[in-house]
Amino acid sequence: MSTTTLIKSGTLITASETFTADILVQGEKIAAIGQELDVQDAEIIDASGKLIMPGGIDPHVHLALPMFDTISSDDHYTGHKAAAFGGTTTALDFVVQEPQGFAHSVDIWRRKAEIAAIDYGFHMNLTHFDEQVGREIPSLVEMGITTLKVFTAYNGRLRLPDGDIFQAMRIAKDHGMLTMLHAENGDVIDVLVEETLAAGHTTPEWHARTRPAWGAVEAALRGFALAAETGAPLYLVHMNVAGEVDMLHYARQRGIKVMGETCSQYLFFTEDHLRRADGAKWICSPPMRTEADNARLWDGIADGTIQVMGTDHCPFFFDGTKPILYEEEEIAIPGKELGAQDFTKIPNGLPGIQDRMPILWTEGVVKGRITPNQFVAMMSTNPAKIFGLYPRKGALLPGSDADIVIWDPERVVDYGVAMSHQRTDYSLYEGWELKGYPEKVYLRGELIIDGEEWLGAPGKGMYLHRTPNAEIL
């Protein structure tokens, strides 16, 4: 590819502005933005009638994650490839905390990600805390990791007591780090699961019924209380229930440094989907809720209470006994059939990394729920700011990485697994008609998606060393 590219006459959409201009890309960076740019020896791309946006940033993915007796079916190549087809050029994954320490844990994930196809960074799961761990937390910043994720659920595996979370948040604050919270009530979940299995209830809807919404609401408020007491910022992940929006609004109105993320699945699906014959497809944690919760989450997006749209992408096969064809090779990975007789054994997770931007464009922008500028803010600019990547990422500015999506707002697609590059055997959005879809996607100036053609490759992605003391929106 030419090292100089001139994208002409597109409509640029940023988090705050919409205007027509040319973009000059030199090497990996945006060199200039202006009217009627004329550059010798540049490759000219006519973007008339098209929209130009910064590449999407998915701040919440789980690639090659071991779970139960299997592993999430997308790795750091297949998941990244799928992301790119949906307009996402940066993804942030979660490192599993190992007993040997943070450096060892990060090294495992860096080796997994050697096949990365888009740019990537890491959060650190904090699932064990003691004085030694506390002393090691600042070393994460030196590794480019500025975020800790803590859990109030998964007793005996991932959960930290509130006192440990409190101490970790104080350390994080002192080093310019952000704490991320998975908010559910692990104690209540354990009681309900035991009672439910004893009563002989094993079908997928009981996954949702044993993880009550009020547990998420009270755990969210508990997290916000810890943020208020420590003065440390807190980011609530995968919001799925109306009460979390209410609690986030309550805390933000009182000046507490808290922010929130939801995921596309929580805007469209409900517990009723788990009652279907193929209900295991919708099993994730936290679970689907109700139509009223869907509506309140949309309200929180529209009014800015919620800042970010992630995916919690963690796919599994619906039937891992039957292979699919992926890049001309047959592959089958054990999946949700593992829990056919017991909902507690169904791997928790969904595909979504490719779906996020096309689905939310149609359902959000085209249907008038949000503006194009809000779309760019939630998909790209806000996560770049919150996670210490701005203005290198999430921006159309001279000096920013040339992560650019040329979007065709008139293209109509019949969406579903046939269009999906997610390495699994189903799509949550099978048969949905979408209007608006990526036409070309550039990663640091290199064209990696051209229509339906994949031009990327394993190892093209770059590890992002994120900076501390990022913005609190």
Residue pLDDT, tens place only, 105-151: 999 999 999 999 999 999 999 999 999 999 999 999 999 999 999 99
User: Would you place residue 76 in the very low, low, confident or very high pLDDT band (cuts 50, 70, 90)?
Assistant: very high
The rounded distance, in Å, linking the Cα atoms of 373 and 311 is 20
Distances (CA, A) of 438 to 273, 353, 401, 442, 447: 29, 14, 18, 11, 12
The rounded distance, in Å, linking the Cα atoms of 207 and 279 is 10
Contact (Cβ atoms closer than 8 angstroms) between residue 213 and residue 289? yes
Bridge-partner residues for 310, per DSSP?
263
pLDDT at residue 1 is higher than 60:
no
The rounded distance, in Å, linking the Cα atoms of 444 and 452 is 20
pLDDT tens-digit map of 291-318 = 999 999 999 999 999 999 999 999 999 9
Instruction: Report the percentage of the chain scoring pLDDT > 70.
Output: 100
Write down the mean pLDDT value for the chain. 97
pLDDT tens-digit map of 406-441 = 999 999 999 999 999 999 999 999 999 999 999 999
The rounded distance, in Å, linking the Cα atoms of 358 and 367 is 13
pLDDT reported for residue 3: 86
SS3 of the chain: the string is CCCEEEEEEEEEECCCCEEEEEEEEECCEEEEEECCCCCCCCEEEECCCCEEEECEEEEEECCCCEECCEECCCCCCHHHHHHHHCCEEEEEEEECCCCCCHHHHHHHHHHHHHHCCCEEEEEEECCCCCHHHHHHCCHHHHCCCCEEEEECCCCCCCCCCHHHHHHHHHHHHHCCCEEEEECCCHHHHHHHHHHHHHCCCCCCHHHHHCCCHHHHHHHHHHHHHHHHHHCCCEEEEEECCHHHHHHHHHHHHCCCCEEEEEEHHHHCCEHHHHCCCCHHHHCCCCCCECHHHHHHHHHHHHCCCCCEEECCECCCCCCCCCCEEECCEEECCCCHHHHCCCHHHCCCCECCCCCHHHHHHHHHHHCCCCCHHHHHHHHHHHHHHHCCCCCCCCCCCCCCECCEEEEEEEEEEECCCCCCCCCCCCCCCCCCEEEEEEEEEEECCEEEEECCEECCCCCCCCECCCCCCCCCC
User: Would you place residue 2 in the very low, low, confident or very high pLDDT band (cuts 50, 70, 90)?
Assistant: low
* 28 CB-side CA count, 13 A: 9
The rounded distance, in Å, linking the Cα atoms of 318 and 291 is 24
The rounded distance, in Å, linking the Cα atoms of 10 and 189 is 51
Question: Domains in the chain and their CATH numbers?
Answer: 4-53+394-409+433-454 (2.30.40.10), 55-386 (3.20.20.140)
User: Would you place residue 212 in the very low, low, confident or very high pLDDT band (cuts 50, 70, 90)?
Assistant: very high
Q: What is the pTM of this model?
A: 0.97
